[in-house]
A and B are shown apart, each in its own frame.
Chain A
Amino acid sequence: MTGSLFPRPMVRRSFVTAARATAAAALAAATLGGTALPAQSAPDPRVGLKAGLTDAGEAAWNVKRIASVAPAEKFVGSTNSDLAFTGQYVIQGNYNGWQIWDIANPAAPSLVTGYYCPASQSDVSVYKNLLFISGEGLEGRLDCGDKGPREPVSKERLRGLRIFDITDIRNPKNVGNVQTCRGSHTHTVLVDPKDKANVYVYISGSAPVRPAGELPGCSNAPPDKDSTSALFRIEVIKVPLAEPSKAAIVSSPRIFNDLVAPPRHGQAPADKAEVEKAKAAGKFVFEIAAIGETFVLPDAQARQGLEQMVKMRGGTGEPTAADSTRFREFVNKQIEGMVGSEGKKGPTQCHDITVYPALGLAGGACEGYGLLLDIRDPANPKRVAAVADSNFSYWHSATFNNDGTKVLFTDEWGGGGGPKCRDTDPKEWGADAIFTIGADRQLSFQSYFKMPAAQTSQENCVAHNGSMIPVPGRDIMVQSWYQGGISIFDWTDAKKPFEIAFHDRGPVDSTKMQMGGSWSVYWYNGVIVNSEIARGLDIFELQPSQFLTANEIAAAKTVKLDYLNAQGQPQYVWPPSFARARAFADQLERSGGLPAARLTAVRAALDQAEALSSTGARRRALTALAKSLTADAAGSSDSAKVTMLATAATELARAK
């Protein structure tokens, strides 16, 4: 590669602009050499797409759709849900069961097995020869039949986790079922690096509790009235790999206990300004950390309270600073007392828990809270941090960046069935919230990200599931927004996430809101796989752009996984490759971390080393390059990236 990828003066500014810019605006900025355009100045190609089930209008930017397949006959018209991956296969949940697709040739997925077994949501996970499926709805049957039990209490009902053996992938066998009190909306498979004999499954259930007559021991009473309550807890199932039929609940950790005062994080700028104004005006401002809410006490009440403090100390006249302090303490006590007297005020369950075993951490998205959990003892997860956010309605899922210094939570405002991306819906609602994870493992709010193109009221749209794309040196994620399509964005700078690619279709139905769009989308071994609720399965490839170079894409494709579950985050490890070194060089061009002439020389050195046929000569060339780059690092404005490049060269030198 020669020459400059990015005209020097525009790079930084174009990145800033792109934080909110539409595709067209970003491209225009590129051609105009960095004239910052206002975000909404150009029409977004996603706006106004024609509706249709099979012939909807389509907009794509920096991704190419290489394949789309319709569901098998039995699954048409039934919701496609989450995905799991093993080897060359992708397993797609459906409210009527699940389908296994062979994507060895991603341009032509072929159906291997469809398994009819109705139950919502049929979220799937896989580990070795075992397939796990969630059942939540009342219609689920133990025998996979299609006549849901009609009685509120039925011995034929399955609400919980189904376990199948897929050793013979064309002939799955039901080898276990675990019934749970609230069914299983979704679940998380936790592979404990220290335990080779078992896997653990965390059950998330948001539906109402079953009657005790159907599943003994299920109680809907608050825990202070009934210590066995199914509320305020998650369930941990231990699955012996050798004997999956013995899978059973081993603990029901109450990770929410005493969750009354998590450290609060920053608010939206408008809220902050309002609070600052109130403070400046001498008003009483209370922070209710447990809900991320700041409350400005009305003057009359503050006055009344202060006078009460004066009276209580037997004084007269104007309240003093000490009265003010006492009043503040009094209010705080009242809040605490109220919380205490009415039992646990934390969430009663989690929606999703994303485990990251390599870090021993999990991100729990639990009703009104985002939690950070220590999962090193899998059956006994412990809460280490909690955050709330006044802009978040319903914490839905969590994704860590690869090195575990950040976590992104989503807000599934409206439950996924509502059109929450209209131009009238605030950008902070139904969005992602990005937090950094400090050395003390506390969470600090940084910013929101929401897919920026306004959608119609015929399109259900809100933040949903996604995964990291293994571009070395950057934090890039692909995410579902239901009928808002898929959005790929960079959140390397936690304060300034920006979109770099997207794909969207018009509404499924032009006349009314009909559920559709992307349920979930994940990067898996070089491609992006999308579960489309109404239309089937899509596969995409990234296209090079000024925001993501061919080298960066090639480097991402070097990461190979044996399997992937949506809520089990793998740590990406990059094998030594020239693509990775060149990706870092491209990133240094973008950041201005090395002078243009030096970059040209570095790229030439990489090209020459790759062309050398003698491994010894290649090793010497790469070692010399690494050494010179290490010397460059000290003087660079982006020394961390120069060091990454030097390390990449060293690893290449050592590679066979």
Chain B
Amino acid sequence: MFATPVAAQVTTAPAPRDPAAFEALYRARLDSARLRFTAADVRFMRDMIHHHAQAVTISQWAPTHGASASIRTLAARIINAQRDEIALMIAWLRDRKQPAPALHEMDGQLMVHEPAGDGAAMSHDGHAGHAMPGMLSDAQLKELDAARGAEFDRLFLTYMIAHHKGAVTMVDQLFATDGAGQDEAVFKFASDVQVDQRTEVQRMELMLGALRGGAPSR
């Protein structure tokens, strides 16, 4: 039922006492840990940046589109969480010398620029990304941007639920890929995305239930 450990597991060799040598070893270990990633991990991180950017963009509409207080709170949390995670993903890519997209804000939208020369060159947030699970189409984005008040709330919840579920699907796909998710940072990040977004989906489904309840004619 259990295997015998491979040998020589017990180790008491001390770390270097000299602070500079200790830090050099620490950095060397972090560097070698960064070599464990695969192409699938890189693809996942780059895709998820686009995915998150769209969530941030539409969440930023909440205050200007007459969203209710609870939707505004929800949107504020999504912005805070996913902006931090975008920063984490970009840092992850840069640490591994992988091309990392650039971000900029334009008309309240969070735009993602793929680095020049990349296959998906200049894919502004959206476009290339529509193939990812849960991403809103251009038509859906327009529809949501045009909505106000209760209609915005309803559409926001509907699309954000699908968007979050799409992120969970992306995590499932990652873990089903050979060699993927062995990088500690990717494993932790992807696992967190999975639990955080699934927890938020539960919350949003109940909120949407209340809204639907309020409109029996629909």
Contact = CB atoms under 8 A, between A and B. Distances in A.
Interface of A: 53-55, 70-79, 95, 97, 111-117, 120, 137-139, 142-145, 148, 150-152, 170-172, 174-177, 206-208, 211, 220, 245, 271, 274, 284, 286, 288, 290-291, 293-298, 300-302, 304-305, 308, 330-335, 338-339, 342, 345-349, 367-368, 390, 393-394, 413-415, 417-420, 425, 429, 457, 512-514, 534
Interface string B6-44: 101111111110010011011111100100000000000
Contacts of A73: 11, 13-16, 25
B1 interface: yes
Nearest to B20: A54
Interface stretch (B102-110, B116-124, B137-145, B209-217): B209-217
Interface string B43-85: 0000000000000000000000000111001000100110011
Most buried by B among A172, A297, A301, A335: A301
A298 B214 CA distance: 9
B12 A111 contact: yes
Q: Place the interface of chain B in its size category.
A: 35 or more
A347 B199 contact: yes
A330 B15 contact: no
Contacts of B200: 393
Contacts of B8: 116
Given A142-B2, A152-B178, A429-B77, A335 B213 contact: yes
A512 B91 contact: yes
B20 to A, nearest CB: 8
Given A77-B28, A142-B3, A298-B153, A72 B12 contact: yes
A115 B7 CA distance: 11
7 contacts: A139-B184, A144-B9, A271-B73, A305-B214, A338-B212, A417-B189, A429-B77
B214 A301 contact: yes
B121 to A, nearest CB: 27
B56 to A, nearest CB: 15
A417 B214 CA distance: 39
B187 A393 contact: no
Interface of B: 1-6, 8-16, 19, 22-23, 25-30, 33, 68-70, 73, 77, 80-81, 84-85, 87-88, 91, 149-150, 153, 171-172, 175-179, 181-182, 184, 187-189, 191-192, 194-196, 198-200, 202-203, 205-217
Contacts of B171: 208
Contact of B1 (A120, A177, A302, A308): A177
Which 6 A/B pairs are nearest by Cβ-Cβ distance? Answer: A77-B29, A334-B213, A331-B213, A415-B192, A298-B150, A338-B209
Contacts of B182: 137-139, 148, 150
Contacts of B215: 301, 304-305
Contacts of B88: 417-418, 513
A307 to B, nearest CB: 9
B9 to A, nearest CB: 5
A212 to B, nearest CB: 13
Nearest to A419: B84
B213 A76 contact: no
A414 B192 contact: yes
Nearest to B5: A144
A427 to B, nearest CB: 13
Contacts of B10: 113-116, 170-172
Given A113-B10, A295-B70, A335 B187 contact: no
Given A144-B6, A152-B177, A304-B217, A295 B196 contact: no
B124 to A, nearest CB: 26
A293 B12 contact: no
A220 B171 CA distance: 13
A274 B15 contact: no
B199 A138 contact: no
B19 A54 contact: yes
A100 to B, nearest CB: 10
